[in-house]
């Protein structure tokens, strides 16, 4: 019996270890190098409420965002699976290692609430369809998926619309966004924006 318990415990430990190691490698980026690179990004991402010109919507908050997701997003702009000429230009000037570094930097700063796992309960029933990936309280449960809590409302509307109309293509989120009823896009954006989470990263 004791041996069995030990076996079960060992199996559980191995399982946990496998799950942990199966996660994408995290924080491989060099924070100092990332900080240097981030300086040019803060001209847009470091100013509260700074807007994309056409169409007009606020540039996303990056402080506390998941590092692996930032890497995926930057490579998406580089490959044009996310169409945004300015960001494609920005991302194309970065090497793979630069992308790892700058992602590690943005993920590491701000976002105290993110680190603490959020502060509010999911009380909105339509958001239940999103929490399996984007987490209770809008704090994502996997480094590959973005945290939505605290993001700008108009940016969230823009992002959801972009998955729906093909400006962004992603095998997972394009399908998810297609399932949202037209009138719920704004409601969901408003909900996730209202949760505490991401922060605008200021130049020091
Ligand atoms: C001229 C303004 C501007 C500059 C400079 C800029 N960005 Fe952006 N960035 C934007 C806008 C606008 C978007 C939203 C694009 C969209 O709709 O997909 C964006 C989106 C992003 C996203 C996607 C965020 C998300 O939640 O999906 C990342 C990551 C990002 N930028 C990183 C960077 C990095 C790193 C730099 C510096 C190397 C940088 N940006 C420089 C304007 C800018
Ligand atoms: C099965 C997992 C999954 C579910 C469920 C899901 N998403 Fe996503 N979501 C993702 C992934 C993966 C991405 C990143 C896609 C990419 O790389 O562009 C994403 C990206 C997003 C973004 C873009 C964030 C940014 O910073 O640009 C928004 C907004 C979003 N999801 C909202 C939602 C909403 C609202 C729901 C519920 C109706 C939902 N998602 C359900 C996996 C999921």
Atom of ligand 2 nearest to the CA of 160: 29
Q: Is the pLDDT of residue 11 over 50?
A: no
Residue 59 C-alpha to ligand 1 middle, in angstroms?
A: 7
The pLDDT tens digits for 109-128 are: 876 777 777 776 778 889 99
51 alpha carbon, closest ligand: 1
Contact 118, 149 (CB under 8 A): yes
Please enumerate in sequence order all residues whose Cβ is within 8 A of that of 174, keeping only pairs 6 or more positions apart, or say none: 163, 164, 166, 168
Whether the upstream peptide bond of residue 55 has omega within 30° of 0, thus cis, is yes
Burial tier of 139 (Cβ tally within 10 Å: 0-12, 13-18, 19+): buried
Residue-level pLDDT at 181: 96
Rounded to the nearest angstrom, the gap between the alpha carbon of residue 28 and the centroid of all alpha carbons in its chain is 17
Please enumerate in sequence order all residues whose Cβ is within 8 A of that of 59, keeping only pairs 6 or more positions apart, or say none: 44, 45, 50, 51, 52, 152, 155
Quick one: average pLDDT of 19-29? 53
Q: Is the pLDDT of residue 137 over 50?
A: yes
Please enumerate in sequence order all residues whose Cβ is within 8 A of that of 67, keeping only pairs 6 or more positions apart, or say none: 26, 27, 29, 103, 104, 106, 107, 108, 143
Q: Is the pLDDT of residue 25 over 50?
A: no
Q: How far apart are CA 101 and CA 76, in angstroms?
A: 17
**What integer best gives the mean pLDDT of the chain?**
86
Residue 31 C-alpha to ligand 1 middle, in angstroms?
A: 18
* CA-wise closest residue to 166 among 175, 157, 154: 175
156 alpha carbon, closest ligand: 2
User: Phi and psi of 147, rounded to 5°?
Assistant: -75, 135
Which residue would you say has higher pLDDT here, 109 or 174? Answer: 174
Residue 108 C-alpha to ligand 2 middle, in angstroms?
A: 21
Which residue would you say has higher pLDDT here, 26 or 137? Answer: 137
């Amino acid at each position: 019996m004791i041996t069995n318990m030990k076996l079960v415990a060992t199996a559980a430990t191995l399982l946990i270890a496998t799950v942990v190691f199966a996660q994408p490698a995290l924080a491989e980026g060099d924070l100092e190098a990332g900080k240097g690179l981030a300086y040019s990004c803060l001209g847009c991402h470091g100013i509260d409420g700074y807007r994309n010109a056409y169409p007009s919507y606020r540039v996303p908050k990056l402080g506390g965002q998941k590092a692996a997701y930032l890497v995926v997003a930057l490579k998406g702009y580089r490959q044009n699976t996310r169409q945004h000429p300015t960001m494609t230009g920005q991302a194309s000037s970065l090497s793979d290692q630069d992308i790892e570094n700058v992602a590690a930097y943005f993920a590491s700063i701000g976002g105290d609430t993110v680190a603490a796992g959020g502060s509010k309960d999911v009380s909105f029933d339509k958001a239940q369809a999103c929490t399996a990936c984007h987490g209770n309280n809008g704090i994502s449960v996997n480094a590959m998926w973005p945290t939505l809590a605290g993001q700008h409302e108009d940016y969230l509307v823009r992002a959801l619309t972009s998955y729906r109309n093909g400006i962004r293509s992603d095998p997972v989120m394009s399908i998810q966004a297609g399932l949202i009823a037209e009138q719920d896009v704004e409601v969901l954006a408003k909900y996730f924006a209202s949760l505490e989470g991401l922060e605008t990263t200021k130049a020091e």
